[in-house]
Amino acid sequence: MGDGAGVHLPNSLLHEPADDGANAMPDPSTPLILPALGPLYQALAPWAEAALRAAVGLALVPHALRNTFGFFPKTGVRAHNLTELAAQLDHDGYRPGRLWAPAISLTQFIAGPLLALGLFTRAAAVPIVIFLIVTNVERWRVGRYFWNQLGLEYTLMWMIAAIYFLINGGGAISLDHLIGRAF
């Protein structure tokens, strides 16, 4: 379960394969309808986790490129550089914008790729989760739930995925695992 070295959990939470070998799923407490698929699921699970981690982290980068350097100018945002982002943040009540604009940009440019790579995963996830909590509060204020009304539907899923990596770390296919260290 993640890379929680030194953490001792009950056997029911360790997700060890069943003793009889008939169900090779990571969580044997729920038998599979088609037990033969267990080894496939077990083989693909770390890759699915790595793909999700990469998507969560890399999805931040286009936002940083847009808000910091003006990439993607016709995507409906008001800010196309840090000065405009700071002014937008001040206008929206997140003062001082001159502090928050670079903090947001650094979170997106540094923490996003670190999370995607699974390097210092938990440390990278902290500012991302904080950023997404604030984003969700703002999205709820503006559009409530539905994404097509500028609500929090999309950012809520993104935040939950980031929380997963904050708790579980980078997983088996990560640079944290490769270097043998994790927070």
Quick: pLDDT tens for 95-120. Answer: 898 999 999 999 999 999 999 999 99
The C-alpha atoms of residue 131 and residue 101 are separated, in whole angstroms, by 11
Distances (CA, A) of 32 to 24, 38, 140: 9, 7, 39
* pLDDT band for position 181 (cuts 50, 70, 90): confident
Predicted confidence (pLDDT) per residue in 57-77, tens digit: 999 999 999 989 989 888 877
Q: What percent of the chain stands above pLDDT 70?
A: 83
**Confidence at residue 151, expressed as pLDDT on a 0 to 100 scale:** 72
**Confidence at residue 18, expressed as pLDDT on a 0 to 100 scale:** 42
The residue among 169, 168, 167, 164 whose CA lies nearest residue 179 is 169
Check whether 44 has a pLDDT greater than 80: yes
Q: Cα-flanking dihedrals φ and ψ of residue 23, to 5°? A: -125, 100
- pTM (predicted TM-score): 0.78
The residues, any chain, with a CB within 8 Å of residue 81's CB and separated by 6 or more, are: 67, 68, 69, 70
* pLDDT band for position 13 (cuts 50, 70, 90): very low
